[in-house]
Structure 1
Amino acid sequence: MRALGQLLRREIHPVLALLLAGCVLIGLPGWMILDRAAILRNGAEIVFKTAPVDPRDLMRGDYVRLRYEEISNVDGSLFKGELPAHDGPVRLWLTLHDGEDGLGVVKAVSLNTPVNRAPGEIFLRSNPTRWTRSGSSEAVAGQLSLSFGIERYYVPEGEGLEIEAARNQQRTTVAVRISDKGDAQIARIMIDGKALYEEPLY
């Protein structure tokens, strides 16, 4: 035990410290890239129609803002199961399936991870959203405003105007891949059903 304590108290050699720091700096982005690629390769695919965005807040630099008709604002009456017991940020789960038109439809919203997956169902997890117990009744009676990390799509500078115009004419759809953990990645941007941008794995 004493030997271990002495070892822990020793100063780390500067070269070793640099190597460790380099491994962390390289390893973390590498892990993020691999995780994203795994979702794009293996995730379940579902297509959403985009919704218009406030024209006062359009193109900013090199990305297009995206909202989704079906999942950006969800009918609170679809909430199933127990409500959050405490104030603060919560992640909600959406149970999705393909509608008759081939677009994703929300079947249910829940606080806890859904456990029984029916054929064709996909589970999508939201980013943390603010919840207050005092507003629970109003929330489930109204609209739940949610985000999922797929609200921006980066494009070469100057090439987003076509997407913006089609988005605000409701001609844009987005194919999203969703992992078993509920994480989402944009796979394709489509206008009138034709792919305009397709995400590479790496």
Structure 2
Amino acid sequence: MINSDSRYSKWAVGLLAAVVLQGLVLVGMVVKAALPLWTGTPVKVATVPVDPRSWFRGNYARLNYSFERIPAGDLPFGTSLRIGEVVYVRLVPGSDGLYEYGGASLTQPETGVFLRGRLTDDGPPYRVNFGIDAYFAPKGRALQLERELRNGGVAVLMVTDSGRVALKAVEANREG
């Protein structure tokens, strides 16, 4: 005869293991997303806002960067590029202190500042998504950013040694 308590305890252990595993997966996702903010190096890049608000996403500024578009000649000719493929974009310091596009490759650079992104179309020019195209802010701050960023601004990115990037802040362009 099978002991019913044994059957229920096995079921309870299995359920507990499933719940713990799901919790660990969620914690891992949060840690992976926050890792650039904790360990990254600050890099400032020029940006231009596109749309300050959305009824569905809340108050945010959608940001465009010049390094999101890669010219055809910068990626290997004859290579079959797929949407979703990992691409590395090198950033180099410009004369104004802001980092700008310095080339792209399908292999991770060994040195320098670079971002890891994914192709979003099969170009050319190729578009790359880095996950830093929206800056969320409270309503008052979003409206203030809308006014301040009309002529462009500066995005503060946190970049890890592996090219993972997170958007830390958006500032008005303080030229002049």
Give the TM-score normalised by the residue count of structure 2: 0.78
Report deviation, 1:147. Answer: 1.8
Report deviation, 1:181. Answer: 2.1
Question: Which runs of no fewer than 5 residues in structure 1 stay unpaired?
Answer: 1-9, 194-202
Task: Name 1:73's counterpart in structure 2.
Answer: 69
Task: Name 1:111's counterpart in structure 2.
Answer: 106
Q: 145, 166, 171: which one pairs with 2:148? A: 166
Alignment of 1:42 onto 2:39? yes
Give the TM-score normalised by the residue count of structure 1: 0.69
Report deviation, 1:83. Answer: 4.9
Change (3 A) 1:25 1:105: same
Higher-strand-fraction structure: 2
Superposition map of 1:129-168 within 5 A:
129-131=120-122, 139=124, 143-168=125-150
Contact 2:52 2:60 in 1 (8 A): no
Task: Name 1:100's counterpart in structure 2.
Answer: 95
Task: Name 1:122's counterpart in structure 2.
Answer: 113
Change (3 A) 1:109 1:12: farther
* Secondary structure in 2 matching 1:146: strand
Question: Which runs of no fewer than 5 residues in structure 2 stay unpaired?
Answer: 1-6
Superposition map of 1:16-55 within 5 A:
16-53=13-50
Aligned length in residues: 165
Aligned CA-pair RMSD: 2.6
* Secondary structure in 1 matching 2:67: coil
* Secondary structure in 2 matching 1:186: strand
Contact 2:60 2:134 in 1 (8 A): yes
Letter in 1 for 2:86: R
Letter in 2 for 1:71: F
Report deviation, 1:109. Answer: 1.0
Alignment of 1:13 onto 2:10? yes
Letter in 2 for 1:167: L
Report deviation, 1:50. Answer: 1.1
Distance 2:12 2:172 in 1: 52
Change (3 A) 1:130 1:73: closer
Task: Name 1:64's counterpart in structure 2.
Answer: 61
